Structure formats: C-alpha cells, structure tokens
Amino acid sequence: MARQQGWFALILALAIAAGALLFNFPLQLGLDLRGGSQLTLEVLPAGAVKTVQKEQLEAVKEVLERRINGLGVAESTLQTVGEDQLVLQLPGEQDPSRAAKVLGTTALLEFRAQKPGTEQEMQGLLQLKRQVQSVLNQKRARAAAASDRQSPPPEIQLKAEDLALAMQKLGLSVPAGSSESDQLDLLLSTVNSKIVALYEPATLTGKDLTTAGRQQQQTGSGWDVTLSFNREGGDKFAALTKSIAGTGRLLGIVLDGRSISEASVGPEFKVAGISGGSASITGNFSAEESRDLEVQLRGGSLPLPIKVVEVRTVGPSLGAENIRTSLVASLSGLALVAVFMAVTYRLPGIVAVVALSLYALFNLAVYSLIPVTLSLPGIAGFILSIGMAVDANVLIFERIKEELRAGNTLIRSIDTGFSLALSSIVDGHVTGLISCAALFALGTGLVKGFAVTLAIGLLLSLFTSLTCTRSLIRVLMSYPALRRTIYFLPHAQLPLGAKS
C-alpha cells in the first residue's frame, strides 16, 4: 500500500509541475492557429547548375535560416518541399513584404575600382542619382507621414521637362500610363546599371567577410553598415584601395549588381592602402535599410537565386476561429469518451477519465517544454493519441471483467488484468511509434508536426494507462466502501455465488 501511495504522490507532484509549466511557458501556436504569413520560395538553377540538387537546396536553406534569425522573427519555421522549393512560416507576421525582400535577394557583395578615364561620366551619373534618390526618398517620407496622419515634410520636385530630358539622355522612353514615381524608379535603376558598368571586375567579394554591423552617423540621421574582413579579405581590400588612392577614381560597393555606395580614397593611402581589415558602407541608409543589409551580409550570399512564388496570409481572426473549433472538437471528443467509459466500465471508467485528464495535462506540458509548435495537424495527432490512451484502458478493464467472471477476487482480478493486458498495450504502442517514425522521416511540414504530437502522446499514454490508472484504482481499493465487485461488473454478469 505504501508503494501505491508513493506512486500517487508522484503523479500528484507531476500534475502540479505540469500546470505550473503551462502557466509560465504558454504553448507556441503555429501559423494556422495564431495567424501570420507563409512564403513559398523556389530555388532557381543558374550558371553551370542546370538542376537543383539536394545539397544545393540545403545550402540555400542554411543561408536563409541565418537571415531569418537576423530578422528576429520568433517561432519561424523553414522546411524543404519537393526538389527545389522551401516553405517559410512566419507566425504573427501579417506583412511579409520585408521578409520577402530580405530573403529573396542574392546578397552578392562586390568591391570594384572605377575604370580609368571615366571620371567625367561618373560625376554626371552620380549627380543625377543623388537628385533622383532625394526626390524618391522625399515622396516616400510624405506618403508615410500621410498614413500616420502627421504633417508631411516639404516636397522636393523634379521638373517634368528635366525628368524627360534625363530619360532621353539615357535612351529611355516613358511607359504609357506610368506615374512620376514609376518613371523615377526606372531612371534610378538605369543610372545604377550605368554606374556599375563604369567599374572594373570585382577583386573582393562578400565571401571574405567575417561579420557585418551598423552604426548611426555622427552627423545626420543616416546609418552606415560596418564590415570586417578575414585576413585574406583585409589584404585584398588594402591592395584595392592602394591602387586607386589619390587618382580621383572611386571605390564602388555593389550589391546584386546595384551600386549602393561610392567612395573616394585619399592620397595618404598610396603607400599601403586602407589596412586593418574593416570598412564602412556609407549610403545614407535608414535604420531599417541598414538592418536589412546587415542581415543579408551576415547571412552570406545565396549559392543560387530564389524566387517567391506564393505568399499566403492567415489573419488573426481566422487563427482564433481555428483555435475555437479545435478546442470544441477536443472537449467534445473527451466528453463523449468520458460518458462512454463511465457507463460501460463504471468505477474504472471514472478512473480512466481522471487518467485521461492527467494525460492531456502532461501532453500539453511536454509540448510547452520541448517546445512543440502546435498546428491543426498537431491537434489532430493529440486527439488521435487520446483515442490510443482510451484503447489501453479498455484492454485493461476488459481483462479485469474476464477475471471477475471467472470467479476471481476483486484485488486479484485487478492485478491479473493489468498483467495480462501489458503485452498487448506495449505492442500496440510500439507499432504506433514505428508509424510515427516513418511519417517524420518521410513527411514534410505539417505531416512532421502530426507525427511528433502523436509520438509524444503514445509515450505518455503508456505512462498514464499503466501507472496513473493502476495507482488510482489501488488507492480507491483501500476504501472498503468502494471495494465492491458491482462497481466493476453488472450484477447480471457476476458468476453464481459471487459477492457484489
């Protein structure tokens, strides 16, 4: 009896600990329950790569995971689907445009020296670039102020004839029906392309970076992106800056074929170049732009380009509705099972309901502890595991009833019932765990979530059915008023001469 009381005390302590764990560490909800965004990304072959292989898909995934961690999106998941696709889930993120922009760019960073004899052409292009960029930044600032109902800054305008003349000089035609902002974007893109064409091939790339950071400019509100190179990269940077020091030629910093910064190198660096293995990108970035660039450079460049092929957003109201319907389904199923067990198996059935409640509590506590991101398929696995736990109790109680019909005493029938049902319960749970292992190994995404929750449920089911149920029944049997066969078997099924 002391042993059973010890088990009962352990179960009670576990129940209290599970409740405290759920109170302090709430469950993590997946995209379909919490709401958020899902991006489907396709990896594209490029260069000598004609078909995307598994190793290349994993390499792209590794880079994207570093970028996602840099963005600071909590509880995000990135999984491979098929041979060339990745699915990214961002729970709670209702505007995936920034993530799509940061993840979708290749982030190939190059340092290039300006070609000799192009100083005059470069000066004109840079002047036009600064003018167009200033107008575009001002338009975006006014649009942001209008959306926040703040007083907009004074507008900087580019005369229509000046815009038309600039586009004509660059050989651009005005698209029919295009707005002024569209024309400015087209002009800026073309200017950037022409600036990049005035640079020599890259001698230093982002592969030689060790880390990237950002800092606010001491004068002004802009932000700079700081870079640190490895030893080889530091030597290349010193040699590159030495070659153009004092010549009037610029050092261009190019990201994905777009010039993001142009810097001059003074004559004082003619002897040894800029040494120290560090540099700074000054492009008058906003705080968000500098953060995004830092994330891209820290994550590294993508080995293959990717394309966002689908963006799906689940609103918080739909997620709340999914939670409500899932909760109703779970509680309804548990209530129906409780009624069936109490009517069919009487006192043991009531004990089974208590054990199932403990099972559900332990299950949710494990989800919170690991943690498991709970989704609709995960809830389905949880509900299915409840059925498996009930099945174990049914096997035990049927064995007990068989022993009682054979004329054995109540205590002996209980002990024998648990002993005889043990092998069947273990076999059933082992086959279930094998199925879970196959689903987890071969499945993807939501299927894996289903397999994990079902496997956790099966393991806990063994504990609750063989330990919790048995301990609770033995504790109840210590009370003489409950030690009656009629509480386990209907009077009509009792053997002749047996006491009820």
Quote the radius of gyration of the chain (alpha carbons, Å): 34
Name which of 133, 189, 177 is nearest 156 in CA terms: 133
3-class secondary-structure state, position 30: coil
CA distance 9 to 411: 21
CA distance 468 to 10: 10
pLDDT per residue as tens digits for the range 270-320: 888 888 888 887 766 777 778 877 777 777 777 788 888 888 877 766 667
pLDDT per residue as tens digits for the range 360-406: 899 889 888 887 777 777 787 788 777 778 888 899 999 999 988 88
pLDDT per residue as tens digits for the range 19-51: 898 888 888 777 777 777 888 888 888 877 788
Confidence of residue 63 (pLDDT cuts 50, 70, 90): confident
Name which of 471, 436, 439, 441 is nearest 456 in CA terms: 436
Name which of 48, 80, 52 is nearest 64 in CA terms: 80
CA distance 220 to 286: 11
Q: Which whole number is the average pLDDT over 457-483? A: 87
CA distance 30 to 316: 12
pTM of the shown model: 0.57
CA distance 307 to 44: 7
CA distance 314 to 242: 54
CA distance 340 to 353: 10
Q: Which residue has the tokens 């109540």?
A: 410
* Whether 88 contacts 78, CB under 8 Å: yes
3-class secondary-structure state, position 73: coil
Q: What are phi and psi of 311, to 5 degrees?
A: -125, 120
DSSP, residue by residue, 430-497: HHHHHHHHHHHHH--THHHHHHHHHHHHHHHHHHIIIIIHHHHHHHHTTSGGG--GGGTS-GGGSPTT
